[in-house]
Amino acid sequence: MYAHDFDELTELSMPFADALEELQMEFRQLVRLPADAFPALVLRLAVGGSASVRSRRKSRPDLLLQSRRGLTSENVRFVERLGHCGGPPS
């Protein structure tokens, strides 16, 4: 997210500014990001040949259930909240 403070969150989405601020703080705590640092999303794009075998990816619900093993209750709540906010596409 490109908002750095509550005013910018309000500018992005006034009705959800409080929830977005809470999610942003939870994320920073989970990844132990210092207050003076900002996350960066780096994408690596590549072109490859056709797959030699069929994909064995699991469905999103199966992945979420499987990924909960070994997580703290705080992490599980964060994952659940991502799902309620639309989260990443499945």
Q: What angle do CA 45, 47, 50 make, to 5 degrees?
A: 135
72 closest CA partner among 43, 29, 35: 29
Summarize pLDDT for 64-82 with one digit per residue, the tens. 665 556 666 676 677 677 6
Summarize pLDDT for 18-66 with one digit per residue, the tens. 999 999 889 889 989 898 888 888 888 888 888 777 777 766 666 666 5
One-letter identity of residue 69: R
| Centroid of chain to Cα 15 | 20
